Structure 1
Amino acid sequence: MDKGPEPKIDDLPPCLIHIDKEGKWYHQGAEIIHPGFVQFFFEHMELDDKGRYVINWNGQRCYIEVEDTAYVVRQVDFSGGNGKEERAILHLSDGSTEALAPETLFIGKEDVLYCQVKNGTFPARFLRPAYYQLAEKIMEEGGSFYLLLQGKKYPIKPSRDKSGPVS
């Protein structure tokens, strides 16, 4: 059955949900503190082709106002050792963990560190504690910065326009 054309983003109603740059969720100005609600929203969130965050549930769609990124990296742990099999494990704002894809690291506005998460689907902002944990493995060489991981140097790319994450 043909669902018809995809609605324009301007046709989507707002969810009346806001995510601040620290990863806190709000509904009409009140913080959403029930973890089940936040988890539900994460599970049904997608990025549309314009880079907008959309909740899509049972055919109902609405957009979320996001100050920076919906996902934030709260903590970084390192597994392995000796620089060869070492992995950086990210603890994300949805409660999940995943290995850092070091080739996705980049610097955005206000020199904030970002990476791509969820198989490259979403950008994630490193909160300050997570940044400091990762910074222990960052080195500077010739004016450029690299993450030393798995015996390799991964360049940390500057954002093209310094206006924020690149989706």
Structure 2
Amino acid sequence: MPYEPPPELAALSLSEIAERIAERKLPPVSQWQPQVRGDSHMRIAADGRWYHEGGEIRRPAMVRAFASLLRREDDSSHWLVTPGQMLSIEVEDAPLIAIDLKREGRDIAFRINTDDLVIAGPDHPIVSRGDPETPALYVSVRDGIEARLDRSTYAQLIEIALEQSDGTGDAVPEDLAVTSGGTRFALLPA
């Protein structure tokens, strides 16, 4: 069956996004505990590009397939996991990039560079790291894997936070935050 990317995020309602998320069948990598471990000789650059033995993986279908097998352990190491083996993978920042967002009411959905869709909330928090001068925003995708918001998506989220804070988008509050899924997320690192 050929891969069909989802329509543009703006064309989907939040309920349609939730349906697409529920329909996506992903491997149960969190349940697999293979004993065989090795090195994948792969690296994910901070800009979201994937490399194998120094050469860039340019086929989006390959990146999507590998991304569906990703898991992050408690020690922050990243692994490609199958039922038979775990292969380490070097990740410079976050393995995925959030490339678009849609707000509907008080909820925010993200599109990831692998065409995954995520609705921010308690199970998929938005996290701010860095310092107030150079913050970086991430959204939790699955199995400990995060997506860093690209510049455009970051700017869209800040605009939403400004609108939610004073209604006009003019003031920059010290507690800049957004709400999604009934949860408030600070956008400036503590």
Does TM-score exceed 0.5, indicating one fold? yes
Aligned residue number for residue 151 of structure 2: 128
Aligned residue number for residue 165 of structure 1: none
Matches within 5 A, 1:114-125: 114-118=138-142, 121-125=144-148
Q: Deviations over 1:50-85 (max 9, x none)?
A: 221111124122100000011211111223xxxxx3
What amino acid is aligned across from residue 42 of structure 1 in structure 2? A
Which of residues 54, 67, 70 is equivalent to 1:42? Answer: 67
What is the SS of the residue equivalent to 1:136? helix
Query: CA distance change for structure 1 residues 159 and 134 in 2, over 3 Å: closer, same or farther?
Result: closer
Which of residues 147, 160, 164 is equivalent to 2:178? Answer: 147
Query: CA distance change for structure 1 residues 154 and 46 in 2, over 3 Å: closer, same or farther?
Result: same
Partners in 2 of 1:35 and 1:58 — Cα distance?
23
Query: Under a length normalisation based on structure 1, what TM-score does the superposition of the two structures give?
Result: 0.73
Partners in 2 of 1:107 and 1:89 — Cα distance?
17
Partners in 2 of 1:157 and 1:75 — Cα distance?
17
Query: Under a length normalisation based on structure 2, what TM-score does the superposition of the two structures give?
Result: 0.65
Query: CA distance change for structure 1 residues 12 and 149 in 2, over 3 Å: closer, same or farther?
Result: closer
Task: Give the RMSD, CA atoms, in angstroms.
Answer: 2.8
- List runs of 5+ in structure 2 lacking aligned partners: 1-32, 163-171
Matches within 5 A, 1:21-100: 21-79=46-104, 85-100=105-120
Structure whose residues are more often strand by fraction: 1
Deviation at 1:157, TM superposition (A): 5.8
Query: CA distance change for structure 1 residues 127 and 43 in 2, over 3 Å: closer, same or farther?
Result: same
What is the SS of the residue equivalent to 2:176? strand
Q: Number of aligned residue pairs: give it.
A: 145
